[in-house]
């Protein structure tokens, strides 16, 4: 069965939408202080995960709360790994990790960063990583016998930049990067799950866009808790048997 995962705990320990989302998801990616979150919020959502039998992943990022971890940081390897150590200390017994924002995207395309992160995961005895199938991080982790939980996003658009060998998320700078219509997000999710396909948004030279179907594999689909449709989407998907046909 395809699992629903959600980036959670990014708006404090008492946000009503985040708390309700914990009733309809299978994996909670809990922010550990790099881009958001703190010991209190981690404790609250770890407790809810235990109560509701939800798996957890440490949601780790560049140490950049000001930009919510969504910008690539010019940071030394030592500084990055030290920050990851500090973040992971809030969930020290965790065995699954999902990187966030710019670190997530950079790890998909930068082989050197992917290798650095894979080595860090090995050193911390992480056994599962949530990342797109075919990403640089997925390939390095696969070689290191770290299980790859292939991820796709329910409410984000994808594209294929020139020269890229796999789909990538549309930059949030584009006004069509996010899906705000729940029916469209459900349709995209079911296309991924049942057909192993995704409709890519291709930006043409004349600034128009067209659509192109491409392969997409996923073991889990992500909903961002701060999406305007997150709660409705989680409930809609939870009511559907998310099985591959």
Contact indicator for 147, 128 with CB cutoff of 8 Å:
yes
Q: d(Cα 236, Cα 103) in Å, to the nearest integer?
A: 29
**For 144-189, what is each residue's pLDDT tens digit?**
999 999 999 999 999 988 777 789 999 999 999 999 999 999 999 9
| Residue 148 CA neighbour count, 13 Å, CB half | 22
The yes or no reply on domain 3-151+218-238 and CATH 3.20.20.370 is yes
Average pLDDT over residues 24-46: 98
pLDDT of 241? 62
CA distance 187 to 134: 23
Q: What is the pLDDT of residues 216-240, one digit of tens each?
A: 999 999 999 999 999 999 999 998 8
With a pLDDT cut of 90, the percent of the chain lying above it is 89
pLDDT on residue 243: 62
The residues spanned by each domain of the chain are 3-151+218-238
Q: Is the dihedral of CA 231, 232, 236, 239 positive or negative?
A: positive
Which pLDDT belongs to residue 204? Answer: 83
pTM of the model as a whole: 0.95
**Beta-bridge partner residues of 7:** 29, 224
C-alpha distances in angstroms, 135 versus 5, 145, 159, 213, 222?
19, 15, 14, 19, 16
- Per-residue model confidence as pLDDT tens digits over 93-146: 999 999 999 999 999 999 999 999 999 999 999 999 999 999 999 999 999 999
Q: List residues bridging with 8 in a β-sheet.
A: 30
Residue 245 has pLDDT above 60, yes or no: no
């Amino acid at each position: 069965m395809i699992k629903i995962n959600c980036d959670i705990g990014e708006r404090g320990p008492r946000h009503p939408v985040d708390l309700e989302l914990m009733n309809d998801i299978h994996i909670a990616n809990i922010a550990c202080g790099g881009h958001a979150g703190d010991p209190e919020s981690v404790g609250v959502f770890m407790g809810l995960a235990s109560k509701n039998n939800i798996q957890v992943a440490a949601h780790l990022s560049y140490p950049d709360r000001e930009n919510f971890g969504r910008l690539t940081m010019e940071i030394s390897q030592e500084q990055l790994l030290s920050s990851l150590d500090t973040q992971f200390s809030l969930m020290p017994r965790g065995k699954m990790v999902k990187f966030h924002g710019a670190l997530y995207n950079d790890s998909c395309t930068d082989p050197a960063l992917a290798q650095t992160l894979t080595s860090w995961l090995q050193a911390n005895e992480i056994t599962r990583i949530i990342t797109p199938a075919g990403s640089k991080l997925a390939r390095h982790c696969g070689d290191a016998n770290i299980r790859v939980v292939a991820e796709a996003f329910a409410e984000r658009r994808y594209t294929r930049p020139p020269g890229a060998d796999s789909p990538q998320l549309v930059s949030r700078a584009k006004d069509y990067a996010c899906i705000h219509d729940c029916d469209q997000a459900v349709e995209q999710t079911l296309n991924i799950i049942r057909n192993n396909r995704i409709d890519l948004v291709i930006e043409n030279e004349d600034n128009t866009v067209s659509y192109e179907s491409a392969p997409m594999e996923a073991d889990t689909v992500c909903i961002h808790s701060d999406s305007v449709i997150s709660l409705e989407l989680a409930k809609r998907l939870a009511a559907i048997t998310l099985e591959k046909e």
